[in-house]
Amino acid sequence: MKMIKLNFTSKILLNFQSRAFILLICSLLVFPSFAQNEEDSSAKWAFSVAPYLLFPNLSGDITVKGIPIDASANSEDIFSNLDLGGMLYLEATSAKWAIILDGYFVNLKAEGVTPLLEREVEFKMNQFAITGAGLYRLNSWAEIGIGGRINSVGSKLYIEPGEILLPGRDFSMTETWFDPLLVARVMTRFNESKWRLGLIADFGGFGIGSDYAYQINPFLGYQFSNLFEVNAAFRLNGMKYETGSGDNLFKYDMTLYGPSIGFMLHF
């Protein structure tokens, strides 16, 4: 079956939506709060909250009810039709431990045509993901840990009726799965200045949920005061998940990438 090509002339809405999927996930995300100094051996916990904006690109394909759809969109396609909502990152840190939670929601709508009879097609997709992890501090600049990510993807495909006898077709599927993750984070301060540079990454899935899933996030932060910090980062997030067969096949093979900016409050 030939793949349906979509024309991204509608909107992608990126919104933080807090569902209580608070169980895990790992890795990262673009705006980490930074570890306390090694010499601070107190058992006190510090907390960070960071709303941030992601400017995404999409590359890959989705299969809904056995029908493959090319859902790629470059930055020009997206930015000309993009409504920005928000995302949220939370972290709690002590002298040796860090606990992180990160969540986002994506609502995507696009139009296209079938490859043979050129019937009009409308495709909608919403994705919710929440990542959580626990990290152990090895030294002043490196942490490792485990976690997981819950993904929930809802897809709807409508094919308009043909001119003669062909009826319209309306498909929808919702899939939710969990990916265990291995996580690592490294970061450093420039000569004890207010500038921070680091990278946080995870890899997982292992066939338990996705065949594979990963995130890589280099970041740069400037801390204006003990309370306020601004961060710039780049996110690369990919996964391949497949379930079912034939007319019940669902496949999600996508990469999301793009720059982001966040504003962090430390308590």
DSSP collapsed to 3 states, 106-144: EEEEEEEECCCCCCEEEEEEEEEEEEEEEEEECCCCEEE
Helix, strand or coil, per DSSP, at residue 71: coil
Q: How confident is the model at residue 116 (pLDDT cuts 50, 70, 90)?
A: low
The larger pLDDT score, comparing residue 71 to residue 139, is at: 139
The larger pLDDT score, comparing residue 172 to residue 197, is at: 197
For residues 89 and 30, the answer to whether their CB atoms sit within 8 Å is yes
Q: For position 106, which CATH number holds?
A: 2.40.128
The larger pLDDT score, comparing residue 20 to residue 33, is at: 33
* Residue 18 pLDDT greater than 50, yes or no: no
Mean residue pLDDT of the chain comes to 79
Is residue 77 within a helix (H) or strand (E), and if so which, with residue range? helix 75-79
Strands (E), 138-248: 142-159, 169-189, 195-204, 212-223, 228-243
Q: How far apart are CA 104 and CA 262, in angstroms?
A: 14
Most confident of 40-44, 120-124, 204-208: 204-208
For residues 96 and 82, the answer to whether their CB atoms sit within 8 Å is no
If you ran DSSP here, which 8-state letter would residue 74 be given? -
Structural domain boundaries enclosing 28:
4-266
Report the relative pairing of strands 57-64 and 97-113 from DSSP bridges.
Answer: unpaired
For residues 11 and 173, the answer to whether their CB atoms sit within 8 Å is no
Q: What is the pLDDT of residue 62?
A: 87
Q: How far apart are CA 194 and CA 262, in angstroms?
A: 16
Helix, strand or coil, per DSSP, at residue 87: strand
Q: What is the pLDDT of residue 172?
A: 83
Place of tokens 């001119």: 163
Q: Write the secondary structure of 191-205 as one string of H (helix), E (strand) and C (coil).
A: CCCCEEEEEEEEEEC
Q: What is the pLDDT of residue 76?
A: 66
The one-letter amino acid at 166: L
CA angle 84, 160, 109 (to 5 degrees): 10
- Residue partners of 245: CB distance under 8 A and separation at least 6: none
In 3D space, the residue among 138, 90, 125, 111 whose CA is nearest the CA of residue 265 turns out to be: 90
Helix, strand or coil, per DSSP, at residue 209: coil
HSE-CB for 112 with a 13 A CA cutoff: 21
Q: How confident is the model at residue 40 (pLDDT cuts 50, 70, 90)?
A: very low
What is the model's pTM? 0.78
Is residue 36 within a helix (H) or strand (E), and if so which, with residue range? none
Strands (E), 10-45: 12-15
Helix, strand or coil, per DSSP, at residue 51: strand
Tell me the two tokens of residue 80: 């000309």
Number of domains in the chain: 1
Mean pLDDT is lowest, of 8-22, 40-54, 128-142, 231-245, for 8-22
Q: What is the pLDDT of residue 169?
A: 74
Q: What percent of the chain has pLDDT over 90?
A: 48
pLDDT digits (tens, 9 = 90+) for 50-92: 998 888 888 998 888 888 888 787 666 655 555 444 689 999 9
Tell me the two tokens of residue 243: 């379930």
Tell me the two tokens of residue 252: 């999600």
Q: How confident is the model at residue 23 (pLDDT cuts 50, 70, 90)?
A: very low
Q: What is the pLDDT of residue 181?
A: 98
